[in-house]
Chain A
Amino acid sequence: MKNVIVFALGQARYAIELRWVREVFTLGPVTPVAHAPDAVAGVVNYRGAIMTILDLSFLIDGAATGPGPASAHGGEAAILVEVEDVRAALRVTSVIEVSTLRPHRRRGDSALVDSSGRAVPLIDPPALLARAQAAARAAGDAAGRAGDAARE
């Protein structure tokens, strides 16, 4: 059994283990960041610090459509996760419930079963953040190389 937050991303449901979640909050206005990887929806002010907002639709293979383009006015839900001091907020369509779910018999750790018997894919924040970080480094390297090219 796992303690999870169940959330909606577009029409699909996903779950994330509570141990990674620091907070659920309402997004303020999102500032887009040009040249950031696709998975980055932008940045927001989270209690005085700058927080990266990740767009899950770019990070989950075969994910349903995400919440659409980030709203300049905010008001959407976000789940703040933390893995080894790296924090990021996941932009979701809506938060559904906090619940304790059992693993899916055939899909092992990758999915859980909700009260109505449906399979709910389980998100893996360490893998997610590692992927986002790799993408960001690649984007940064590209920008650095582009700069070098411009200097030649």
Chain B
Amino acid sequence: MSDERDRDKGDGRVRGPADDSFNTSEYQALRVLFRDESQEALDQLTHLLLRAPADAMDPAALSELLRTTHSLKGTAGTVGLRAFADAAHQFEGVVERLRGGRLAWSARTRDALVEIIDCLRARAAVGEEHGEEAVALGALLDEKLSALTGVAGGGAAPIDVDPAGVTGPMPIVGEPVSAAYRLARRDERALLRVDPSRIDRLMDGVGELVFDRTRIERRLAELRGVVAELVRVRGALGAAAGTETAGPPADRLRAIERDLDQQLAQLDRLQRELLDDAAALRRTGNALQDGLTDIRMQSSRTLFQRLAPQVRALARAAGKSVRLVTLGGETEFDKSVADQIGDALIHLLRNAVVHGIESAEGRRAAGKPDEGMVTVSARHEGQTVVIEVADDGAGIDPSVLRKRLVDSGRWSAAHAGLADDGEVLRALFDARLSSRQVVDELAGRGIGLDAVRETVAQLGGDLSVASSPGAGTTFSMRLPLTTAITNALLFKVGGHVYAIPNVHVLGTVEATSTGPDGQLPGQLDFQGGAVPLVLLHAVLAAPPPRPGAAVPAVVLDYASRRLALTVDKIVGPREIVVKSLGPLLGPLSLYAGGTISGSGKVQLILDPAALVRLAYPDAATAAHRRSAGRVLIVDDSPAVREAMTRLLERAGYQVDAAPTGLAAWRMLGRARYDALVTDLQMPEMGGVELIERLRADPVLAYLPVVVVSSRASASARTRVRSLGVIEVLAKPVNADALLAALRPG
């Protein structure tokens, strides 16, 4: 490193950074960055040259050439690529001569300059000072530059001393540039520079795949249930057939049994194959996601580069002497994660330098060296990357913090006694502790940690802290290595934020009440078509929007069907990390998962597939509606069922009957009904529970219900009325009263 710094001393050329800014590995990482950056600058130079006509060079283009070359030279010097900087310096000299008219512009000049840029491009791709390729390219560059400027030799001469008399048409080097081209071309193959937003779009597609897969798996679980039920029914049939003796009915039953067995075997096979297919889909999806994440991987070193100057500045400001040690620079993680944790990392460093490391006197008293040490490390642990910021400072005494928490009334003594040191230290992340008026060392350590935790939580990670009094404190950020990131639209309903995958969102509109009663319309106009409006407030059990007010609505398109959802407020599009709701809530089809907000709250992701089912109760239903309607009667007395069925059938209703609340609940799930007439006291599931279930169901919440009961207690009556039934009628039921209750309106 020192030889590199001293190598060109005294030749008047570009200097590297004067201070001891970077160590060898830092320089290496910087040069990788420079390689990308320089390609853009060189492309720009080539573009400027090739655009210029052969007879005259535009002065503005020349200025642009100079500016770009100059900044390229500066960057190369900064990352310690002195030979490249020298070459750029010489190229800059050539452009200066062009501008000063000391070098004539011609097609040949232009081609020679483009060749030099190609050499520079290859030189930058090599990305190091020494080594065979670098030296070979350096020689080639020098040769071309000398040819252009008429200076013979190794190109050591600075350009600012202009060799006189070189003004005529310049000689073009016959030397084949194939070496440079080959290198440049090889680099193009090896490194594909892609706009990150393209990869993000692919990532969104993968996110969708995850949602689709979850749905398929949920359907499979349902299918398993149906098959199990069929097997049970088959068993019951077998038992029933067994009681039949010989004769034609028994033979027919056996034949049906055989048929059923065949179909069941078929169904079973299909189900198993489908399971295999779903597993294959999962594997492929995972491979795709891993592959894409891999593309976005970058090493921690790039992130660490930014830290050294920060720590120096912080230590200077705090009047402390602090050394930064970085470990695990080769650890790779998602670029989008790296981009977002930079500030959090710097915050933790500030915290360590300002509050963690003691003053020099304090350190001496504790028997430590004057110079404090802050270590930043990165390592992989399973599917996570752990980034730690550790200081060798005074540390935090959990017992002091524990006492503080109890004294301030934030924790009960029992809670503080049970919580381990880790949880006690965790309380530091709470904004309420660090915003105390009394600013002491303990409070100081908490300042801004809530923001760090927010950043980490947003990325789906976790922040923790460990400390040993006298020896130092370590903050650990545990971040996901692979993240299922997707773009979502966030909106608020009933005070909570929900998300919906952005790919299904067509836009947002405003729904305004039409009628005099302030009711929202059933449909909205969107892009020249009518779109059904779903009252999402009702689906999510939120208080309905104020009548008469304009309500924002999100228009979705899923499986070629459009629908609009009422919301309270559009929050906006966000990149979210999709997380599973876990084994307990996974079966709920309304949700595709959850995500964690910046403030650490869980936000639920709605599944567009479930919502579209709410908006499209299909054509078959409409046909039912044309008749008087389909009614389900629930009563444990067969006589009452029969009587009411006849009564309603005569009035033109299509009627089904169930003996218990549970049976009715199952039937309501299988077919669509326009109304329910139910008793209250029944075995298995009573009427009250049945109505409660209906009201909690997204589809059945608004099913009209009439209660017919002989023994309804006052409290049961109050309860069902609070659940919004149309009418509570006494048995024996009056036919006219029942029909009147069922009549719409």
A-to-B contact residues, CB < 8 Å = 5, 23-26, 28-29, 31-36, 40, 42-45, 47-52, 72, 77, 85-88, 94-98, 129, 132-133, 136-137, 139-152
Contact = CB atoms under 8 A, between A and B. Distances in A.
A94 B618 CA distance: 50
B584 A40 contact: yes
Nearest to A140: B587
A152 B414 contact: no
A141 B302 CA distance: 49
Given A35-B590, A150-B672, A87 B582 contact: yes
B86 to A, nearest CB: 50
Interface string B537-555: 0011100000000000000
A34 B541 contact: yes
Chain B interface category by residue count: 35 or more
Contact of A25 (B423, B460, B604, B617): B423
Contacts of A150: 613-614, 616-618, 672, 699
For the complex of A and B, list the 5 residue pairs with the smallest distance between their C-beta atoms, beginning with the closest: A140-B587, A145-B669, A146-B699, A47-B462, A147-B613
Of B411, B423, B539, B589, most A-chain CB atoms within 10 Å = B589
Interface of B: 218, 222, 225, 411-412, 414-415, 417-419, 423, 456-457, 460-462, 464, 478, 480, 495-496, 539-541, 579-591, 594, 596, 599-604, 610, 613-614, 616-618, 620-621, 665-666, 668-672, 693, 696-700
A40 B585 contact: yes
A142 B602 contact: no
B604 A139 contact: no
Contact of A145 (B415, B614, B670): B670
A141 B604 contact: no
A50 B594 CA distance: 7
A35 B696 contact: yes
Contact of A45 (B222, B601, B668): B601
Contact of B222 (A33, A88, A144, A146): A144
Contact of B698 (A24, A35, A50): A35
A17 to B, nearest CB: 15
Contacts of B461: 48
A86 B604 CA distance: 20
Contacts of B601: 28-29, 31, 45
A143 B589 contact: yes
A151 B613 contact: yes
Of A47, A72, A139, A150, most B-chain CB atoms within 10 Å = A150
Nearest to B427: A26
Contact of A146 (B414, B415, B464, B700): B700
Nearest to A51: B582
Given A95-B414, A97-B414, A149-B672, A143 B697 contact: yes
A45 B602 CA distance: 6
Contacts of A88: 584
Contacts of A96: 414
A150 B601 CA distance: 32
Contacts of B610: 143, 147
A50 to B, nearest CB: 5
Of B218, B614, B697, most A-chain CB atoms within 10 Å = B697
A52 B613 CA distance: 26
Given A35-B590, A36-B588, A144-B222, A50 B580 contact: yes
A137 B698 CA distance: 16
19 contacts: A23-B423, A24-B418, A28-B601, A43-B581, A45-B457, A48-B456, A50-B579, A50-B582, A50-B594, A86-B584, A88-B584, A95-B412, A97-B414, A133-B583, A141-B587, A145-B669, A147-B610, A150-B672, A150-B699
